[in-house]
Structure 1
Amino acid sequence: MPDPQTLLAFAAIALGMVLTPGPNMVYLVSRSLCQGRKAGLISLGGVALGFVVYMLCAAFGITALVLAVPYAYDAIRIAGALYLLWLAWQAVRPGGRSPFQVRDLPKDGARKLFLMGFLTNLLNPKIAVMYLSLLPQFIDPAAGSVLGQALVLGATQTLISVLVNALIAISAGSIALFLTRRPSVAAVQRWMMGTVLAGLAVRMATEARR
């Protein structure tokens, strides 16, 4: 079981990443605005299943990696830091697309909505890199079962992502209207998120290997 400080730090990164616009958020928002909240939440069910698949694959893979090549931490740590910097740039770069700019989507049945949410998440490189590059940074072999720590951290990320995306899907219409009327608020949010992600990247890059 990760210690509370480690779990809190990982939760902060997971929250920062889910609030950074990506394929999952764009799809869920567009689906909610085009077909209603229920369609958005059904799609989110598929996204959640994608998180579980990634979590299990990464947990067992990371366990094998840590036990076989402990010094691989350094390479993964740097990769994770670079990825966070890339996300920070995506948050603040000029001309970035807002996830609340709606894409026209056809009305689909529940089964297809669930499947599309699942595939959208599986094909999302942000999630793949997060599990493979960031998750190992918060696992300490001296703290007990590596597999257990990976599962706890993965479950934490999944819970945070599902809760935040559910709130966004339910409130998509209100949020879109609010940001349209107050573009300066959206700009401040983007810069705050970019700053936080950049700070986490610097911390990760300069942190000593455990």
Structure 2
Amino acid sequence: MSVGRPSGIALAMGLATGSFTWSIMTVFGLSATLAADASALLAIKIFGGLYLLWLAYKSFRSATSHHDMKAKELAGGRHTPFGYLKRGYIIQMTNPKAALAWIAIISVGLKQGAPLWVGMAIVIGTFLLSIVIHLLYAVAFSTPAMVRIYGHARPVIQGVLGTFFTIAGLRLLASRS
């Protein structure tokens, strides 16, 4: 945010590319696991549901916290656009929450015996959404006004996310298939 829109866009594309990598690995890994052991689906659903409830807790906690949003440069100084793209990719690939989130996402959308096109539709759809969302974040949050607006709206946004994660987690834990 503090080094300009082009750097933010490059970082956003790195994050989206990391999400794409995680989604591919998760779809093929879960597909292979489900093909080899159908009972693994139950463990994945429980783990995914509990993780979604953990995200709900974190969202609700963030909604009630009172911290300021400040734009600051990432450690290590300024980089080229490719450097920011690489940094975004590394951030996404080394974030354990990304792996856990993809397990939760894929376990909701991918059922045992699902054809390959279902997994690929999830991968492509989420990759396109990731590009759009991360680019919107980069463009919007490269302006001080938007950072201020988000700072005021953050409790509501985090509350909505917490509610969504709670519903998704409970539905996943309660589902029978």
Same fold (TM over 0.5): yes
| Separation in 2, partners of 1:161, 1:125 | 18
**Partner letter of residue 62 of structure 1?**
L
Report the TM-score, using the length of structure 1 for normalisation. Answer: 0.74
Find the residue that maps to 2:24 and give its secondary structure: helix
The change in CA–CA distance for 1:52 and 1:188 in structure 2 (over 3 A counts) is: closer
| Separation in 1, partners of 2:148, 2:104 | 36
Q: Report the equivalent of 1:55.
A: 23
Q: Report the equivalent of 1:95.
A: 65
Q: Report the equivalent of 2:108.
A: 137
**Partner letter of residue 122 of structure 2?**
L
> 1:76 Cα deviation (Å)?
0.6
The change in CA–CA distance for 1:97 and 1:163 in structure 2 (over 3 A counts) is: farther
Q: Which consecutive unaligned segments of at least 5 residues does structure 2 have?
A: none
Q: Which consecutive unaligned segments of at least 5 residues does structure 1 have?
A: 1-32
Q: Which ranges of 4 or more aligned residues in structure 1 deviate by more than 6 Å?
A: none
The count of corresponding residues between Structure 1 and Structure 2 is 171
1:33-87 Cα distance to aligned partner (Å, 9 max, x none): 2111111111122222212221222222122111110111111101111111111
Report the TM-score, using the length of structure 2 for normalisation. Answer: 0.86
Q: Supply the RMSD in Å over aligned alpha carbons.
A: 1.9
Give percent identity, aligned residues only: 23
| Separation in 2, partners of 1:154, 1:199 | 23
The change in CA–CA distance for 1:97 and 1:112 in structure 2 (over 3 A counts) is: farther
Higher relative contact order (CA 8 A, sep 6+): 2
